[in-house]
A and B are shown apart, each in its own frame.
Chain A
Amino acid sequence: MTDDKLPPWLSDNSDDSDENDLPDWLKDTDDDSPKSSNRSGVTGELSWMQDDVPSGDDKSKRGRASTGLTGELSWNQSDVPDFMKDVDDSQSSAKEDTPDWLKGDDESDFSSGMSMSASNDDEDDALPDWLTEPSEKESGLPEWLDDATLGDSNPVNIDDFELPEEEEWQGTSAFGNNTDTSTWGDFEGSSDTFTDDEEAEELLGSSAFTDDSWISETETPSIEEDFADLFAQSPVNDFNPSDLPNTGMLLFGEDDFSNEMEEETFDLLGTPSDVDSLLGDEEDFDLFGELSDTPKEDFDLFGEMSDEPETPIADALASDEKFLERFGADADIFADDDVDIDMLLGEEAEEDDPFRQFEPNNATNEPVEDDLSWLNDISNVPFQDTRPEPLFTPETRAKLPKNPPISKPEPELDIENYLASLDDVDVIPSMDLESADLDFENLFEDDEEAVGIKGLSPDAPSWLTDLSAVSAGENSAAAILKAQKDRPAEELPDRLKALRERGFEVQSKPKAETDVLSAIEPTSPVTMSESSASAIATVTLTAGQVQRAELLRTIVGNALEGEESKEKSRRQRQLPVERLFITVLLLVAVLAPFFVNNLRIGSPPPVQFIIGSHQDAFYRSIDSAPLGAYILIATEYGAMSAGELDVATESVIRHVLSRGCTPVIISSDAVGLVRADNLMQDIATENNLIPNLDYVVARYLVTDVVGLRDFSENVGRYLSYDVDGNPTGLKINSLNDFSRVIVISESADNLRLWGEQILPLMNQPFLVVSSYGAAPLAEPYLNTRVSGYLTGYSDAYTYQTMVNRVLMGGDILIPTLPTEEIVITTEPPVIIPTELTAEVTPSAEATTSAESTVSVIEGTEIVTEVAVTEATTELPVEVTTEIVTVTEETPVATSTPTITPTFPPTFTPIPTPTPIVERYAVITASTPINIRPDPSTNNPPVGALRPEERALILNEVTGVDGQQWYNITFLSNAGETVIGWVREDLVRIEESIVTPTLPPTFTPTPTPTPRSKKLDIRGEIPQKGQEPTPEITPEATPSAEVTAEVTLEVVITEIPLPTLPNVVTLDVPELNLNREIVPMDVTDRQARWDSMALGILVAVVVIAMGNLFNLVRVIFRKRRR
């Protein structure tokens, strides 16, 4: 490339270049107006964008062509540099104007691979010569292009460039398969610049560059035409990249850079050796072959998208005359060699328009002449010889108007205007939801025809209409989904398979009209219909999806249901039917026994504990407590368990009090301590007890285990004050000062604490009363380490029965150990006749306790009841006595005492336990009879007796009705002692002789009768003649005078017979606490027990049935799976 090739303004690289050497368009002007020809950029218009309708040749001056957003492109052909003008062989000036760098020169300089066709068709005026196929000598390439070399090593040879076959050019398009070449125009044999060059034809096919049709705009040129022409050309091997001009030369003329470019190798396409790698071999070269596998016939860039492809922008351009003038087929943009940028902007000659080659044809559908002759200019032009012609020569520059007129801008065809012009076209379908047929179910059903969008304009884009290609040509999401292929069910994991199967199992609910959107968005005017799953117009669900949606709705809770269902669900949530049913059933079972007396299931607890059981040990342990002992009672329960443990607590307290012991109450539960205090106060009020004397309610133990530990080591400090803060006066310093320790607890944990902290430090009996709930976990402690324990309400029930019986003075069925106190009644029974033989067989061996004393019983003494207490476990031994029969006249007592003893004067009768005759009333009626509270029928009965039942007769009186009434006593079925009256005609009397069993420790005090033998049960048997030593003085003295003459050697001294007392008071140690404890009120206890029994039965049945039902349901569910 020589300097003379370069434009002057490019050839001179000195900074001090004369400004005059610069093209005018590069010169600074003072005009800085936005529309100055010298301004460019966002706010300005390029001068070549100004509207300027050139005069003269229509071909050259086509005025403006509006493109772009804001500006205009004004292709004034007169301003177009020569090299950009149409170069045509027929227009020699055009050819001369083409910069040499654009002229093709030597085709041999081109390496292979370049696929550009260059036709030497002289008739082609559209393309510059350098784009045409250069001939051997007359290469269309500019000189600069001819001169350009790509390196000496491997010059580019145009022959090596081959276009692929036409199929490869066109066949692999991704945009369609239709290829309609009918409108492409005839490039064969036309005045195309390429027609002279077969290779160019091969390169470009029917000639995108030899036929103006590809650049000429018909009224509605087809896109296929444009691109098909481009890709249909056969490769041209004549193109020599080395002929391409220097880039700088290309832009700025041939002279400016000639010096620098001389030695350089312009690498337009890379290194010569890289051209092959860049473009690949002929076999590999496939410009768009890889994009689509469709054959050529299928090539259609946008053929599938629309039958009538729309190119609005192209249409707009095609209708613009100015654009056509500038870039039409007739435009000669390479007419002038000197291409001045200003010439592009002004109203210059047509030959100055460099881009007129590219102007589309006008709207007259005039076939565009193939003006590609300019391509020939570069075909054989060595690259280094090519230099861009200067755009503007001084001569041409002078021609430029100083202030190019700014034409009146046409209405901008920008995007906004363009879109506004599309108002008439319903490209976007109107979504009329109200009138749309909304059907969810149809959308996703495979076999159903999807309902597409109705109201779609026929002018809608084809891509929109083609969405429904799968489903009978309708638009629907189902079509899209149908095109998709779901994952096969066999490939799903097991969990997803199960979920899928469950989804199919869900049955859809019947459709109902719902106003879904109105419920979601009240302001929405859209109303839904038909399917309950409908949401929007275009969405339809399959049956399976509806089912799944319903399943989700039931799980989450459907807010779109009606009001009734909402209320129903709310009611169900608030009032569960199962819970109510069970509650009502339980209530009925519990309430019924209180109103129905005979509604009893099962038997009540026994009236007495089994001997040897832990319950019996509990009772006996308390019952055998020494008089005046301190018993620690820990009430470790609160208000919640009071209903269960209050009975046992009260019974224990009363039992302890009745034994003459002092209960000391303590608790680590403040509420429990208060309840015990209240209970103690009630008992004290009933029995006139004195606090801190007869009983002590000690302080509250804090902090559970630490408090217990502290109490075990500082007992005296804790018991020095009571719950009210008053001093107690207790002299207790350790736990062993207590006779018994009784813990009444509701929790196993509390029992455990007492067992861990207190029990190891004690040597005294440790007794426990626990609730039902604490028993299972407290069992390890109770079975092995405590002396006795009671569990639950049943044991408390029996214990209360036993204690109440004792408190009421009744008998217990099983004889207990003798007590210290002997109670003797004043109603002596009938005695046996006086003919007695006395035999003394003392055989008693018994252990006695230091505290117990016995009294001597005279012969006339009748003891009806003897109660003894003894710590031993042996039963009292029967002592038989022998009565000496005196043959002498026995004086008969004339006194009125009921007892008339006959004693020989020389014989001291041994006082023996006189047999007791008891009278019992046996019911003779065939039906149960009532026992009245008084000897009349005016009052309601207090009890009942069944036929053949017996009751002990205590007394008898004559009633107001004139009949004999018996006062009887008996034990009811509940173990209660009942005292009442029964009429004589309903019973029969039975008598039985009962010999009272005296305890071995019973030592009766001998009577002062001189001739009576006294039996000292304590072991000394007075011999005959031995003066008895009276130990007790009976209160009653016999009033009978006994005189007898004894022939025996027994010396009998006359001793006035003592009057036998009716009541014998024993000489017992004075008790510290002489209390009479009032029995507990046990009314309605039976009803409560019955209600509890029935409630337990109902609860067990409900639980069992529920578990059975669940079990069956689980089994069936597993089978179903």
Chain B
Amino acid sequence: MDDIGLIIGFVFTLMIFSYLLGDNFLYRLAVYVFVGFTAGFIAIVTVESVIIPWFDTTLFSGEAPRIGLGFIPIVLALLLLFKTTQRLGRLGNYGMALIIGVGTAVALVGAIVGTIIPFILETAEVGTHTLPNAIILFVGVACSLVYFQYAARQKPTGEIVRSRPIQLFSLVGQGFIVVTLGAMYAAAILTSLTIFTDRIQYLLSPILGG
């Protein structure tokens, strides 16, 4: 089975690499197979590791409160299926509201507590950094935020411009953002090359005997 898996992986790797010649049937086939397998596997894992245990602890527990508790997500999940119809789609809004509301609340709390406040504190603290680093940090954060501030005024001539100081700060912030994007681009290239070399090594292993 390991050998079959190796052969299949080898073939699919070559099919993915065929994209170098342009979009073609082999590439699409490989992508579709991967997406399909991933979706199917996720479904299986979800059923096995989430749904079935949930059923075992609630519906099949034999206890009335647990059974009732277990029916709530089932009912909401069934209501979600009505979103496919136009006439009864409103019934699925209850489940959607729960999902979106809870997710938004959790994400919002985490963003405030876990990101915004700590970053503000880190930016304000000078003691943990050297002076030049602290200055660069503060200037970069402030100017980047100013760059995304689109407040402007309209001149009598009709032209909409921002004030000079704001333009200056936004220009500095734009520079920081450009550097960040460049770093992200370089990091993406590094990641891509790392993965590419791994695949090349995998393809050459049968040849090189590794």
Contact = CB atoms under 8 A, between A and B. Distances in A.
Contacts of B45: 670, 673-674, 700, 723
Contacts, number: 142
A946 interface: no
B197 A725 contact: no
B21 A1095 contact: no
A476 B142 CA distance: 71
Given A706-B102, A1084-B208, A699 B50 contact: yes
Interface in A692-736: 699-700, 702-703, 705-706, 709, 721, 723-725
A22 B42 CA distance: 107
Interface string A251-275: 0000000000000000000000000
Contacts of B197: 590, 643, 1088, 1091-1092, 1095
B71 to A, nearest CB: 19
Given A575-B22, A594-B200, A706-B102, A699 B190 contact: no
Most chain B CB neighbours (cut-off 10 Å) among A583, A702, A776: A776
B190 A1096 contact: yes
B41 A773 contact: no
B52 interface: yes
B187 interface: yes
Contact of A776 (B113, B180, B194): B180
A1088 B198 contact: yes
B183 A776 contact: yes
A575 B21 contact: yes
Nearest to B202: A643
Contacts of A591: 200, 204
A1084 B106 CA distance: 46
A723 B53 CA distance: 11
A1099 B190 CA distance: 10
Contacts of B198: 642-644, 1088
B83 interface: no
Most chain A CB neighbours (cut-off 10 Å) among B49, B113, B197: B197
B188 interface: yes
A643 to B, nearest CB: 3
> For the complex, would chain B's binding face be called helix, strand, loop or mixed by DSSP majority?
helix
Contacts of B199: 643
B113 A725 contact: no
B194 A643 contact: yes
Nearest to A784: B122
A609 interface: no
B114 interface: yes
Interface string A581-603: 00100000011001000000000
B77 interface: no
B118 A1099 contact: no
B20 A1096 contact: no
B190 A792 contact: yes
Interface residues of B, number: 49
Interface in A1044-1073: none
Interface in A755-786: 755-757, 759-760, 771-777, 780, 784-785
B194 A793 contact: yes
A755 B113 CA distance: 10
Most chain B CB neighbours (cut-off 10 Å) among A641, A759, A780: A780
Interface string B172-210: 000000001001100111110111111111001100101
B183 to A, nearest CB: 4
A683 to B, nearest CB: 16
A976 to B, nearest CB: 15
Contacts of A640: 195
B52 A725 contact: yes
Contact of B122 (A723, A725, A780): A780
Interface string A674-702: 10000000000000000000000001101
B161 interface: no
B115 interface: yes
A594 B110 contact: no
Contacts of A774: 187
Contacts of B118: 784-785
Nearest to B141: A780
A700 B191 contact: no
B41 A674 contact: yes
A487 interface: no
Interface string A628-642: 000000000001111
Contacts of B208: 594, 1084
Contacts of B99: 703
Nearest to B39: A670
A705 B110 contact: yes
A721 B193 contact: no
A1099 B193 contact: yes
B119 interface: yes
A6 interface: no
A1083 B210 contact: yes
A1087 interface: yes
Contacts of A1091: 197, 200-201
B46 A756 contact: no
B63 interface: no
A755 B210 contact: no
A1095 B183 contact: no
A402 to B, nearest CB: 84
Given A674-B41, A703-B103, A1095-B197, A594 B204 contact: yes
B183 A594 contact: no
Nearest to B115: A756
Interface in B35-51: 38, 41-42, 45-46, 48-50
A671 B195 CA distance: 17
B74 interface: no
B46 A772 contact: no
A579 interface: yes
Contacts of A575: 21-22
A752 interface: yes
Contacts of B106: 705-706, 709, 757
Contacts of A771: 187, 191
B51 to A, nearest CB: 10
A919 B118 CA distance: 56
A554 interface: no
B189 to A, nearest CB: 6
B111 interface: yes
Given A644-B198, A674-B41, A752 B191 contact: no
Contacts of B113: 756, 760
Contact of B191 (A639, A644, A723, A777): A644
A1096 B119 CA distance: 33
A671 B45 CA distance: 9
Given A773-B188, A780-B122, A1096-B189, A792 B194 contact: yes
A759 B110 CA distance: 10
A753 interface: yes
Given A575-B21, A1084-B208, A1092-B197, A760 B41 contact: no
Contacts of A1092: 193-194, 197
A574 interface: yes
Contacts of A776: 180, 183-184, 187
A785 B119 CA distance: 10
Interface string B52-89: 11000000000000000000000000000000000000
A785 B121 CA distance: 12
A795 to B, nearest CB: 12
Contacts of A1084: 201, 205, 208, 210
Contact of A705 (B38, B53, B107, B122): B107
A721 B191 contact: no
Contacts of B193: 590, 1092, 1095-1096, 1099
Given A706-B106, A1095-B193, 8 more contacts: A590-B193, A590-B196, A699-B50, A723-B45, A753-B110, A760-B113, A1084-B201, A1095-B197
5 contacts: A759-B114, A771-B187, A772-B190, A792-B191, A1096-B189
Pairs of residues from A and B, 9 with the lowest C-beta to C-beta distance, nearest first: A756-B114, A643-B198, A756-B110, A772-B190, A643-B195, A699-B49, A773-B191, A772-B191, A670-B42
